Amino acid sequence: PGDGYSAAHVWPDNNPNLSVVDPANNFMYEAHVYFDSDASGQYLNDYDSDGAYPEIGIDRVDVFIQWLDDNNARGFIGGYGVPDTDELWLDVLSMFLAHLQANDLPGTYWAGGPWWGDYPLSVEPRGGKDRPQMKILTKYSGTACLD
């Protein structure tokens, strides 16, 4: 991961001299993308107060995608997530994942597992029912782990 919490939308500014030479071309740069106003993933405000809009994820990740292209590098998104408190965030997630897929950029969702409890970004089932984010994640992954 890069500096500045690996934030994709400011990747070039925070990592101006980051360059890893890997003769085997197995190296990947990792960035994070969150859609709240400060890109922290804390989602302290609601959707409207955060100034969110459906394409915010695309706008934020495109900076990283362009940097990868400019540097002939490979990368992935090592953390992204949305709260389950407003369906508008699910639209952001869906558009974001479609864009990752179109750009052949893999990613991993944050967070899951029973230790997260009522954490709004968690995709751990509650009461045996999937969290709202799982419908979107399943659409783009093709499979779901329902253990």
pLDDT along the chain (147 residues), means of 10: 90 90 91 96 95 97 97 94 96 97 95 91 93 94 50
**Residue 142: predicted pLDDT:** 56
Run of H or E residues at 58: helix 56-70
CA 12 to CA 7: how far, in whole Å? 10
**Residue 97: predicted pLDDT:** 97
Phi then psi for 98, rounded to 5 degrees?
-60, -40
CA 114 to CA 126: how far, in whole Å? 9
**Residue 16: predicted pLDDT:** 87
Cβ neighbours of residue 50 closer than 8 Å, sequence gap 6 or more: 35, 36, 37, 43
Quick check: 50 and 6 in contact, CB under 8 A? no
Count the helix, strand and coil residues of the chain and give each as a percent rounded to the nearest 5.
35, 15, 50
